[in-house]
Structure 1
């Protein structure tokens, strides 16, 4: 085992390849290996280990396929389909250590993307253990081992995210023939889309069949590891339901803050559009509902500074558009979800959080760019998610395109199918008293994480250090009785004088100012925050 772990750290072998010779050698090796896999003779593929090892050592920043295949062939030599779960967990851990060692000089995006097979193997073990109840001592130990592996993977992903999103090089490059790379792990004749068990069907299909960018693949791998960790947390039934919800929400917010990855965030938000979340077979119906609520809270109620206008300005235009439109649709569906389940107070909290965030003004700026003219801020656009969706669809009827994604457009059009007669008026709902600790705010700018480049022996320690650093950024908003009185006084005063902060006029005919406050709180806001750190203060 130690030999396998240290193999990638050996000095480079003589006869290194460079330039066109390297590209040609990699292409030929991939073609020969693919031919053997299609023959259905996996035992012969081990002969390629030395060839791909040399390819990983021939460059300071090896191409993704060379490391991917070398790790796959090494893993295949150690793991058997009929192996015990503890042995499989140990093999998956060795695979993680090998990939981490081989990619230590690669870009952060590539290093994270290469962990897709590790997450796939971890999911397979968890799925098998959960299916049989994991009641024996050996199974419980296996759950702990795979949980430790997932913690280590997330910790390493957090370290790769330390310096933010933007990198040079191949960060936005495309991975061609990705299906062949997946086939190295699964073998011939397998359903390749099952390689991403914690993504939606359309995401898996896009990755496997259409090729993908390194940034999108990295975001998808982070999203899978994130959801797998949530499922493992839900599997532990020690805490009370309310305490478990708080713990999950704090961990989710802390992790999203730490990753600071817009691709991961877009993928996570898009999952919530689906009727059921990926990996649903791991959870019972109650756990599924709790997971959805926690994710709604973490995505809608928090205004993350890494998604601010200045942070996403340099990202690809289509990615930014999909990100904004997906967040808008999910905000609307979250509000409707809680209305449908009778939680009007939480629905109002979501409306307040949405209108107080930077998202409405970002959508207006996007529309302004698409239209090519200034938008009159005093027009009756509206500030609720429903009103903005209707307005954007009306602009699409005039020839503009905002919902390029078919699924998004389909979900957006469902807004018109909601019976207005059965809806609670937004202002009527807003008059209801909000519960304590419904809203919380986070601003992660200026936070630093421990950049432990070693990574060996991460597991639980890394996960705990990440959580400690990031949970400190999540502030629960306590709605005191005095604040409630002040809010009522402001409403009464509004009858004589128009309220300055238009973000609380949440009816569909309310005005939407061109610029909105980036955070929640301050005078006239839905709640108060005790000394929040903001981007402007730094």
Structure 2
């Protein structure tokens, strides 16, 4: 009898729960379409839906936190400090409701919090902050962003993604309907996900939303907010660049999220970064430089095939191709802007990374075993892209839908001669340009002391990856002078201590005598593109 009475008292058993949740959502959306912004009568229903499940659906928490937040902002007067206080309450509400949830769902639920924080930061950066209250609000919002990142860091260590949550990562309710509880009538995905490309937003507007992908976007946007706030801090550019590079590498290493990394790569593949409301053009260039270094010069262990076994093989392969394209475009970008040291460092980093081997394995797996597949005749991104274009002739699907529309431009880029890019005569290798390989990953349950040691290791183990550059010569005497110089002597690198006070690592290299006909102004003895391209 007690069991029967319990069943009568709980209307959320079996299919009743899904029906009640869907009906509750539709009732709220109908009120929004009617222009009614009073939702207090729905709050208790969503709270009961949350309490009825050990692991509540994302939609139930999302709508409950939205209704709670809307009831608070209706009484606000627009003061920055009051808005920060309200966002802290929203963050705390979301965190408490998502405590039983898996890693991806917990992080994805923060999307509205990040959206509201972004709007506040945009408003604050758009005006001069003179009063003590306004300056305090800026300090508080910076602290909130760091707190959100800390929570994401902890949530990334959850194991529950490998348990029940991994059975289904899709939302039932269309994502564009979900965000309408947060946005105004004249807003949409462009405003709700402001720091990602239109291409990424388009994936959420059509089809089913993958919670893991949404979590990756949330991490990326919070990560970018932190970088933008630090860049706006007014610190010395050189010190800021070095510190933020090391911080970015350490954060990516700790979080270990495939979709987060992929979102950053796609972010950088945009011609103009979607941060113009937060940064000036000069600051945007600094952000791009920091992210290029963090994504290209580091080989992260969590991106290895062994660590990505829960992801489809083609997804891992397509990310490797995106990283290849990113490296190629970064090299061309810095060649055009005269930063030959960085261009060479990216070439070297690619040649020693696992990206090339991932791409080769993928192509081989897609070609029938009776067909012979020659390896790329070189290890530069440009040569790999040309090799991939040829692999397409064998029926290999090289580019996914997010990259296919860039193919024509890539073909044109790789067909261009790299001659004509000026070098800076007499430039010395930039000792601050660093390279770090995350071979082992990070201790899953590391202590604060281990984190501190990891940070120091990252800082110390970053090494100079740049080699020499050939001297710029103009006119018809250019090649003649090169040949004469080659006959007279070999150019060698002297010993270089990679880590101060370390006797474990030294760098020694020499220029290859057989590369005299390279047309590249950036000459790398390990990666001579032009000679390798001749088949």
TM range (shorter): 0.7 to 0.9
**Distance (Å, rounded) in 1 between the aligned partners of 2:163 and 2:90:** 27
Shift of 1:277: 1.0
**Distance (Å, rounded) in 2 between the aligned partners of 1:257 and 1:263:** 13
Shift of 1:418: 5.6
Gaps of 5+ in 1: 1-13, 453-461, 496-501, 512-538
1:365 matched to 2:361? The reply is yes
**Distance (Å, rounded) in 2 between the aligned partners of 1:368 and 1:503:** 28
Match of 2:45 in 1: 51
Deviations for 1:369-415, whole angstroms, at most 9, x for unmatched residues?
11133886765533111111111122224432211225454157334
Shift of 1:450: 6.1
Shift of 1:82: 4.5
**Distance (Å, rounded) in 2 between the aligned partners of 1:446 and 1:294:** 21
Q: Give the one of 60, 76, 83 matched to 2:70.
A: 76
Instruction: Indicate the structure whose relative CO is greater, using CA pairs within 8 Å and at least 6 residues apart.
Output: 1
**Distance (Å, rounded) in 2 between the aligned partners of 1:422 and 1:478:** 24
Shift of 1:115: 0.2
1:345–1:434 contact (8 Å) kept in structure 2: yes
2:351–2:379 contact (8 Å) kept in structure 1: yes
Q: Secondary structure at the match of 1:199?
A: coil
Q: Give the one of 495, 511, 516 matched to 1:482.
A: 495
1:403–1:409 contact (8 Å) kept in structure 2: no
Deviations for 1:438-462, whole angstroms, at most 9, x for unmatched residues?
232132635236689xxxxxxxxx9
Shift of 1:282: 0.6
User: What pairs with 1:218-237 in structure 2 (closer than 5 Å)?
Assistant: 218-237=215-234
Match of 1:403 in 2: 399
Shift of 1:483: 3.8
Q: Secondary structure at the match of 2:378?
A: coil
Match of 1:249 in 2: 245
2:103–2:157 contact (8 Å) kept in structure 1: no
**Distance (Å, rounded) in 1 between the aligned partners of 2:317 and 2:415:** 28
Shift of 1:345: 1.4
**Cα separation, partners in 2 of 1:376 and 1:470, compared to 1, 3 Å:** farther
**Distance (Å, rounded) in 2 between the aligned partners of 1:364 and 1:375:** 14
Number of aligned positions between the proteins:
478
**Cα separation, partners in 2 of 1:447 and 1:407, compared to 1, 3 Å:** closer
**Distance (Å, rounded) in 2 between the aligned partners of 1:322 and 1:506:** 26
1:341 matched to 2:327? The reply is no
Shift of 1:191: 2.6
Match of 1:213 in 2: 210
Match of 1:99 in 2: 94
User: What pairs with 1:399-478 in structure 2 (closer than 5 Å)?
Assistant: 399-410=395-406, 413-417=409-413, 420-423=416-419, 434-443=429-438, 445=440, 447-448=442-443, 469-470=454-455, 472-474=457-459, 475-478=461-464
TM-score normalised by the chain length of structure 2: 0.81
209-218 or 327-336: bigger deviation = 209-218
**Distance (Å, rounded) in 1 between the aligned partners of 2:363 and 2:182:** 44
**Cα separation, partners in 2 of 1:403 and 1:358, compared to 1, 3 Å:** same
Structure number with larger C-alpha Rg: 2
Give the CA RMSD over aligned residues. 3.2
1:193–1:204 contact (8 Å) kept in structure 2: yes
Shift of 1:286: 1.2
Q: Give the one of 121, 126, 134 matched to 1:126.
A: 121
441-450 or 310-319: bigger deviation = 441-450
1:66 matched to 2:60? The reply is yes
**Cα separation, partners in 2 of 1:349 and 1:376, compared to 1, 3 Å:** farther
